[in-house]
Amino acid sequence: MSSRVRLWVFLVGAAGFAALFAAACFDLPAFGTVPHPYGVRAVHAALSHHTANVIASVNFDLRAFDTLGEESILFSAVIGTVVLLRQARDEHRKDPEPATVHPPVRRFALLTLPFALLVGLYVIAHGQVSPGGGFQGGVVTATALHLLYIAADYRALERVRPLTLYEIGEAAGEAAYVITGFAAVLAGSAFLTNVLPFGTLATLSSGGTAMVLNAAVGLEVTSGIVVLLARFLDQAVEIEDPGEDDGSPRHTGGGGGNGDDEREPA
C-alpha cells in the first residue's frame, strides 16, 4: 500500500471515527455530573479495610488479581526487551570514554542522589496512605539512580549497579506477589484475599496485604525499569555493531529531515 493510499484510508476512517465519537460524547452524561456507583462502593470497601488511599486499595486489594495480570505484562515486557537487546555474538564492546563533568553539576547530582532515592522510597512506602505506591515510586527510584550517570559517567554507574541483583529483584517482586496470594489460600480463604490485620487508618502499617503487595510491586517496578534502562544504555553507549558497515548509506529515518541541528556548533 503506497503512503498516499494509506493516508486516504486513514482520512476516511478518521472522519468516521470523529463523527461517531463526537455523537457519543454529546450523549455521555455531562462532564463532572453523574453519580458513580462503583466508585462509592470502592470507597466503602477501602474504608472498611482501613486503607486511606482508595486507589491503592482498588489496585492491591479489591482488584489485586487484575494487578497481578498487569504486573505479569510488565514482567514479560522487561524479559522481552532484555532478550532483544542482549549482546549478539558478532558484536563487541567498547569502553566508553570517561566523561568530564562540570563541577557544580557533579556536586548537585551527588547531593541530590540520596535525596532522590529517599523520595522514591517514600512514595513507595506511603502507597496506602498518601498519593503514591509501588508503580509510581518504583519509576522514581529507578530514575533517581541514573543521577549517577550524570554525576560521573557510565562506568561509575555500572560499578555501583550490580545488574544481576536487579534482575533477581524483578523476579523476586513478581514471586512475592504470587506467594502473598497463595498465603491467603493457606490461611483458608481465596487467592489474594486480604487476610492480614487491617491496622489503623492512615498509618504506614494499615491496609493488610495491600501493604505487602504494594512493596512487592515497588521492588519489581524499580528493578524492572533499572534493567530496561541498563539494556538501552548498554546498546547506546557500549555495544558496537559488527563490522558489516562498509560505508553504504544508512536510512536513519527522521523524515522531517532536520537531524542536522541536533548539535549546536560549539
Partner 1 sequence: MTVLPYLVAGWIFLIGVYGLVTSRDLIHAVGCLAVTQSSTYVLLLAVGYRNGGTAPVFADAPTNSRVVDPVVQALALTDIVVGATVTALLLALVVQLRKRHGTVDPDALSELKG
Partner 2 sequence: MTDVLIVVALLLVAGAATAAVLNRDPVRQALVLSFLGLTLALLFTFLQAPDVALSQLAVGSAVTPLMILLTVRKVRRRPGSGGDGADKPAGRER
Partner 3 sequence: MSTSDGWLAAALVPLLALVPVLWRIAYGSPKDRLIGQNLTSLLAGLVLLLAARGFHRTSYNDVALVVSVLGPTGTLIYARFLDVLPDSRLVRWTALAGVPATVLPLCVATGPGRAMVKLLLIGALLIAGSVVTSGRGGKGGVTA
**Interaction site with partner 1 (CB under 8 A):** 3, 6-7, 10, 14, 17-18, 21-22, 25-26, 28, 30-34, 36, 38-39, 42-43, 46-47, 52-55, 57-59, 63, 67, 70, 73-74, 77-78, 80-81, 84-85, 88, 129-131, 133, 135-136, 138-139, 201-202, 221, 224-225, 228, 231-232, 235, 241, 248, 250-255
How many residues in total does the chain contain? 266
For residue 190, what is its C-alpha cell?
481465596
Q: Of residues 189-228, which lie at the interface with partner 2 (CB under 8 A)?
A: 225, 228
How far, rounded to the nearest angstrom, does the alpha carbon of residue 37 sit from its chain's CA centroid? Answer: 30
Nearer to partner 2, 181 or 224 (CB): 224
Among 43, 110, 119, 239, binds partner 3 (CB under 8 A): 119
Out of partner 3, partner 2, partner 1, none, which partner does residue 264 contact, by CB within 5 to 8 A per kind? partner 3
Nearer to partner 3, 11 or 111 (CB): 111
143 binds partner 2 (CB under 8 A): yes
Dihedral sign computed on CA atoms, order 151, 154, 155, 159: positive
Query: Residues 137-166 vs partner 3: string with x where CB under 8 A?
Result: ---x--xx-xx-xx----------------
Put residue 167 in one of left, alpha, beta given phi > 0 → left and psi -120 to 50 → alpha: alpha
* From partner 1, partner 2, partner 3, none, interface partner of 211 (C-beta below 5 to 8 A by class): none
SS (H, E, C) 60-81: HHHCHHHHHHHHHHHHHHHHHH
Give Cα separations from 63 to 15, 27, 116, 186, 195 (angstroms). 37, 29, 30, 20, 15
By three-state DSSP, how is residue 238 classified? helix
